[in-house]
Structure 1
Amino acid sequence: MKLLPHILLMCLALALAWAQGGHQTQHKHQHHAAVLDRCKGLEMDAVAENEEGIPYFFKGDHLFKGFHGKAELSNKSFAELDDHHHLGHVDAAFRMHFEEDPTHHNRMFFFLDNKVFRYFQHKLEVGYPKNISEVFPGIPNHLDAAVECPKTECGQDSVIFFKDNNIFHYNVKTKAVEKKAFASMPNCTSAFRFTEHYYCFHGHQFSKFNPKTGEVHGRYPKEARDYFMRCSKFRDGGDHLERERCSRVHLDAITSDDAGNIYAFRGHHFIRKDDNDTLTSNTVESAFKELHSEVDAVFSYQDHLYMIKDKHLFVYKVGKPHTLLDGYPKPVKGELGIEGPIDAAFVCQDHHIVHIIKGSFIYDVNMSATPRVPTNKRPISVLKKVDAAMCGPDGVKVIRGSHFYHFGSVMQFVAARALPEQHRVSLELFGCDH
């Protein structure tokens, strides 16, 4: 009988342990399963570009890749962050791509508490994580933000670290640290260098700043969801034209019609630029009500706009209003001989050939032939992915991310082995100077 109390106590202890473990497992599962919506005004923990120039936005143990799309667990891309730091919270991050420093060139750095992780092509490098003081002597632990600054913009290849009200300029070559105070800047929760400009994120707002002085010029702060995320429906107010012409989010599609008007599509909105350079912006649904939003590709041919969405082709007669032709939408495969969705399409002037980009290949489809079939398949070597493209009298403009590249002809684009000069979409196509 004396054993009975002991047996009961053991059973109770096991039951409590099982319940606690089950609760922790359930809590962890709930935490990882939590749905994060960046369009609800999240304050990001860190922002950095990967080796291919795709921005990564970190929040807790989750990661958003690019300017739209759902969150995923950070440890899917950077497994060791979870192995060494179970919370998965990234304090600061940046990609260092100083060409004169091959040791650090194209490396991604993540800062968690007192540790720094260095990745190359998503693989943790040998010996990491290390103490921040070992890799960046003089830089404090528990950082708020960090951003790289090449010598063309900061005088020396540098990294700018942020903690509370303090800013630390770290000279990569000499390891000297200069402590500064950026009086006109808010405290940054994350920082980001993008298209040679510097952005301090605070909450769901951001300010553009001078990396040497910290000065903020212009009308700031601005709403991050207007410029760095595709959140077309997060609010009804605001200047839609200003947002669309200055957004850093890539275009989904672009074309110019026979009259010289440019149509550029992004998410739920589009910009129209007429031959007098007058810009207007509206929702896709307001002008193309059957489409609603999210156009994959568009090209102009014989006074009609051919608009591709997923596996369907919509053909509109250009006018006021634009009119969907009877019988459309139709399958892309049946109309153009190629399976949708596709990435980009364009027709050069005075030709019947639509050039279709799908993945890393370009095809030709003769619009005057029956049936239409893709021919002349060629690989594209200079870009792994194309977001949009259009053709005009001066050649082909190929858009990737927030930049475009100009080629004199389709042949030059296909034959190119190196990218030409990079141009900013927001500035050089739509006149946004900030």
Structure 2
Amino acid sequence: AKLLTLLCIISDNLLTKWRSPAAVPDRCQGIEMDAVTVNEDGIPYFFHSGFLFKGFHGAAERANETFTELDEHQHLGHVDAAFRLHYEDHPTEHNNIIFFLDTQIFSYYQHKLEGGYPKNISEVYPGIPDHLDAAVECPKPECEEDSVIFFKGDEIFHFNFKTKAVEMKEFTSMPNCTSAFRFMEHYYCFHGHNFSKFDPKTGEVHGRYPKEARDFFMRCSKFSDDSDHVERERCSRAHLDAITADNEGDMFAFRGQSFICKEVNDTLKVEPIELTFKEVKSDVDAAFTFKDDLYLVKDEHVFAYRVGENHTLLDGYPKTVKEELGIEGPIDSAFSCDEHQHVHVVKGQLMYDVDMAASERNATNERSIMFPSDAAMCGPRGVTLVKGNHFYHFDTLKLLFSRAVPERHQVSLELFGCDH
């Protein structure tokens, strides 16, 4: 009877454990990602133990909520490797997201499993082993031909799409990758919660690596005194929330909980928003300067500050977005140009003008701009729109409404002077 009771207790405990959902991981706790790729829109996807993190911040969700067919194949516990296929010579496969799970390969287009999948890895990529650690696409001319680089332990395989040839490589300066990632035409090897940037042809690692992934690929609050927080914000891949510049040419940018000030002499200062703008605390939606004051928009409210050694909230603020700008909040970005008394408000792909001299302000002159923006600013050289990790410069305001897309620039390199 005692043995039977003990068996029942053990059985109940196992059943309870089986029924209990797995703990939802926190990307800011230094977890190791199983696989990293981007979706069709270039948004990073980070996979860990059956969970998926989309973008650079936000909570995890079950991977099978986005890639539902994974449920049918009982591979919910992990993803070995993933990449977005870059093969323009074969448009029916180009931009598919490819998963490797144990011995099988899954090909998705717009989050739907392609017909005939899953298949064995050996069928689609002959010469590539099972149970991979990482994979990353390498289109030409970044590689000699459109290729995929596969990682398993210290073995590196270059797979040529055109010839199906497999070339073994030695990447002696790199650690073993647990996931790999092509982002903004650069290549990153993740190992643990660190990463190294590498040359896809030679595996050479240049610069001071490894670096902490949470500093550059995740929008986490301060978590380590060892982190260089100025470099972190200078080189982060997480998009800016807001940006503006004052009449002196100093640039102010906001990202998550951080306030970044780049002075005319290129000196960069990084402080917590709650220290500099205590009423706002974090997560600014938009920023603009008008006359000598700095305006920050968060949710449904506008905060106006007198800029100085101590940024002082002006009397009567915060005000509602509707009261101050004549439009329902929230908004995406806003900017003003020196020669005008208007503030230009961007909401989605629409832009409005607000006459700041009017006693009763209204958002007028609605028109469509080229694309939505995360942040925007205006200066003597024209208008800058920031979208994701890139920015676009327009010499005049009128060019925002044209169809000619200007040259794309990298925020980290060209706005903040990061070296990678």
Shorter-chain-normalised TM-score: which range?
A: over 0.9
Q: How does 1:202-351 map to 2 (within 5 A)?
A: 202-351=191-340
1:235 Cα deviation from its structure 2 partner = 2.3
Partner Cα separation in structure 2 for residue 137 and residue 211 of structure 1: 21
Aligned to 1:9: none
Task: Sort the Cα spacing of 1:321 and 1:131 in 2 relative to 1 into closer, same or farther, 3 A.
Answer: same
Match of 2:69 among 57, 61, 80: 80
Task: Sort the Cα spacing of 1:48 and 1:37 in 2 relative to 1 into closer, same or farther, 3 A.
Answer: same
Q: How does 1:23-62 map to 2 (within 5 A)?
A: 24=15, 27-31=18-22, 34-62=23-51
Aligned to 2:401: 414
1:88 Cα deviation from its structure 2 partner = 4.0
Partner Cα separation in structure 1 for residue 335 and residue 154 of structure 2: 50
* 8 A contact 2:64–2:76 mirrored in 1: no
* 8 A contact 1:82–1:88 mirrored in 2: no
Aligned to 1:353: 342
Q: Give secondary structure in 2 for the equivalent of 1:399.
A: strand
Match of 1:394 among 381, 384, 389: 381
1:105 Cα deviation from its structure 2 partner = 1.1
Identity over aligned residues, as a percent? Answer: 65
Q: Give secondary structure in 2 for the equivalent of 1:249.
A: coil
Task: Sort the Cα spacing of 1:99 and 1:406 in 2 relative to 1 into closer, same or farther, 3 A.
Answer: farther
Task: Sort the Cα spacing of 1:339 and 1:23 in 2 relative to 1 into closer, same or farther, 3 A.
Answer: farther
Alignment deviations for residues 130-152 of structure 1 (CA, whole Å, 9 cap, x no partner): 11111111111111000011111
Partner Cα separation in structure 1 for residue 356 and residue 273 of structure 2: 25
Deviates more, 1:177-186 or 1:357-366: 357-366
Partner Cα separation in structure 1 for residue 74 and residue 126 of structure 2: 22
Alignment deviations for residues 386-407 of structure 1 (CA, whole Å, 9 cap, x no partner): 2111111222111111111112
Q: Give secondary structure in 2 for the equivalent of 1:212.
A: coil
TM-score by length of 1: 0.91
* 8 A contact 2:304–2:313 mirrored in 1: yes
1:30 counterpart letter in structure 2: P
Partner Cα separation in structure 2 for residue 43 and residue 59 of structure 1: 7
TM-score by length of 2: 0.94
Partner Cα separation in structure 2 for residue 249 and residue 123 of structure 1: 27
Aligned to 2:177: 188
1:23 Cα deviation from its structure 2 partner = 5.5
1:21 Cα deviation from its structure 2 partner = 8.8
Aligned to 1:428: 414
1:433 counterpart letter in structure 2: D
Give the superposed CA RMSD. 2.0
2:416 counterpart letter in structure 1: F
- Answering whether residue 158 of structure 2 is matched by residue 172 of structure 1, we say no
* 8 A contact 2:86–2:146 mirrored in 1: no
Partner Cα separation in structure 1 for residue 212 and residue 17 of structure 2: 36
1:127 Cα deviation from its structure 2 partner = 1.1
For structure 2, list consecutive stretches of 5 or more residues without a partner in the other structure: none
1:26 Cα deviation from its structure 2 partner = 5.9
Task: Sort the Cα spacing of 1:76 and 1:253 in 2 relative to 1 into closer, same or farther, 3 A.
Answer: same
1:214 Cα deviation from its structure 2 partner = 0.7
Partner Cα separation in structure 1 for residue 254 and residue 71 of structure 2: 38
Number of residue pairs matched?
Answer: 416
Partner Cα separation in structure 1 for residue 396 and residue 73 of structure 2: 51
1:379 Cα deviation from its structure 2 partner = 2.8
Deviates more, 1:290-299 or 1:86-95: 86-95
Partner Cα separation in structure 2 for residue 414 and residue 29 of structure 1: 53
For structure 1, list consecutive stretches of 5 or more residues without a partner in the other structure: 1-11
